Structure 1
Amino acid sequence: MRVGGVLTCTSLLRRHGLWVRDDGRLHVRVPATQSRLASPAHRERPLSPHHAVCIHRPEWAPTRLAARDDIVVALAVATCCQPPIDAIATLDSALNQGLVSRADLAVALAPLPAKYRRLGDLTDGTAQSGLETKARVSLRTRNIRVRTQVWIAEAGRVDTVIGDCLVLELDGYAFHSGRREFEEDRRRDLALTRAGFRVVRLSYDQVMNDWEACEEVILGLVRARKHLWPRRSVGSA
């Protein structure tokens, strides 16, 4: 409010617990015609680049300003602000947590250019993290069959299954940092391997910062048909 606008975009959505790409900036929406903006630390000082504030001026947004944006408006702003894969992850997160419906999502994307509206067709409300979104979208663009949040009797729910039996587990910091979680992950991996599944486990840094190397390994397994159950030979039991 000191800046002269409302909290919006990823700054607001993070407060709702949604997955967003954190760029370290304060995201503020102001009226399209507003020119005088102040420092977030002192209202009497002008805003400057070193304040790490991202200003949004969408002409389609409501002109009435409050302390914070409605979540639907914030989602629309974040869809334009983030790289496409991160925008899809944020929309996935909002659907997964039940903060918006499919109808709400359509309303959020309706005023945006077509290239942003199309991102709504790539969303999946079962995804529980941006890691799952990135893996799912990247692999599906290569026409690889991917299922998310799949229940497997031997191990419970797994993040992603590629083809029939290639399990991709994606470890975010929040849920895989303790010894108990570490041991449980290994127990599940062993149970899956015993049942004939192949398990690839990737970290947050690997998915977000070195996905090309991860994808190369996954594509190699797919080319070798390691993601499919072995075919039974003719006449076998």
Structure 2
Amino acid sequence: MADLRDEVKDLGGVVRTTALVDAGTSRHAIAAALADGRLTSPRRGWVAVGDADPYLLAAARAGVVLTCVTRAKRLGLWVLGEFGAHVGVPPTASRLNLPDGKATVHWSVPAEPRAPGALEDSILNTLVIVASCQPYERALAVWESALNNGLVAKGELARLSLRPAARRVLNAAGPFSDSGLETLFAVRLKWLRHPVRCQIWIQGHRVDFLIGDRLVVQIDGGHHVGLQRAEDVAHDAALMLLGYHVIRVTYVQVIERWHEVQDLIMRAVAQGLHRAV
């Protein structure tokens, strides 16, 4: 028979005792595991292994679920900034055991019903809450990251009952942005009267953006060093020999100094560098 600690670990490391009982574990066995230190109890009616995920432990203690940007980040989605944990509770919840000022609480009826004992929100609930919590650009980046990673389909989101903020994000979202940087870039140049296309193949390589016919914009992340940097330089040279104009910008420029990026692009457009010869 498997050790009870292993069973709890297989269930995520933090679980309600009723789930164990329903699965066939006796309350006597649970009490014995708590007594000899194989399990701990973060809250009445819950047990956990000693090395359980601290986020899940905190959620169990507080009686909340991890959601919004906190859950998005744990899913590996692109999140720009997470200041304190974001947690979800039903509108009728009370007596939350949360440290003062250290969590953002979302009191709402979830778009997708939450199973009893859930400590992390579903992808649908996460995205809907992100849309109501985060500024438009940041919310769109999270949604597009989820679509790009195949965690959700746009049609599935479209069938939900969405508020205007989430509907706006849905209408703009697409699955082709490899990073939130690309999402922010596209949103901020939406006003431009020239086509801005994302992830276009040219000369055997993908470029981040093609503005008009000939203006290529590449966004460099932290991995653009060493061999990757050498390959980037070679590809830039090949593009320029084909008549393209290449602008490279960095993560910091897009996030913190957008005015510099926009100025470079506007000056190139003013000179007609986006047009085919």
Question: How does the TM-score come out when normalised to structure 1?
Answer: 0.85
Q: CA deviation at 1:30?
A: 1.0
Distance in 2 between the 1:165 and 1:189 partners?
Answer: 12
2:262 matched to 1:215? Answer: yes
| 1:114 counterpart residue number | 164
Query: What is the aligned-residue identity percentage?
Result: 38
| 1:160 counterpart residue number | 209
| 1:126 counterpart residue number | 176
Distance in 2 between the 1:124 and 1:112 partners?
Answer: 17
| 1:13 counterpart residue number | 72
| 2:129 counterpart residue number | 77
Runs of at least 5 residues in structure 2 that lack an aligned partner in the other structure: 1-58
Task: Give the aligned residue type for 2:107.
Answer: R
Task: Give the aligned residue type for 2:261.
Answer: C
| 2:152 counterpart residue number | 100
Per-residue CA shift, 1:119-165, capped at 9, x if unaligned?
21211211101111111122122333111110002x51111100001
Q: CA deviation at 1:115?
A: 3.3
Larger RCO, structure (CA 8 Å, separation 6 or more): 1
Q: What SS is found at the alignment partner of 2:189?
A: helix
C-alpha root-mean-square deviation of aligned residues, in Å?
1.7
Q: CA deviation at 1:167?
A: 0.6
Per-residue CA shift, 1:17-63, capped at 9, x if unaligned?
11112223211101212232214xxxxxxx201x3x11111235436
Distance in 2 between the 1:9 and 1:221 partners?
Answer: 39
Instruction: Tell me how many residue pairs correspond in the alignment.
Output: 216
Task: Give the aligned residue type for 2:216.
Answer: V
Distance in 1 between the 2:270 and 2:161 partners?
Answer: 41
Distance in 2 between the 1:78 and 1:152 partners?
Answer: 35
Distance in 2 between the 1:74 and 1:168 partners?
Answer: 32
Question: How does the TM-score come out when normalised to structure 2?
Answer: 0.73
**Among 246, 253, 268, the residue aligned to 1:199:** 246
Distance in 1 between the 2:252 and 2:68 partners?
Answer: 24
Report runs of 4+ in structure 1 exceeding 4 Å deviation: none
Task: Give the aligned residue type for 1:93.
Answer: S
Q: Which has the larger radius of gyration?
A: 2
Task: Give the aligned residue type for 1:59.
Answer: V
| 1:139 counterpart residue number | 189
Q: What SS is found at the alignment partner of 2:260?
A: helix
| 2:138 counterpart residue number | 86
Q: CA deviation at 1:172?
A: 2.0
Q: CA deviation at 1:9?
A: 1.0
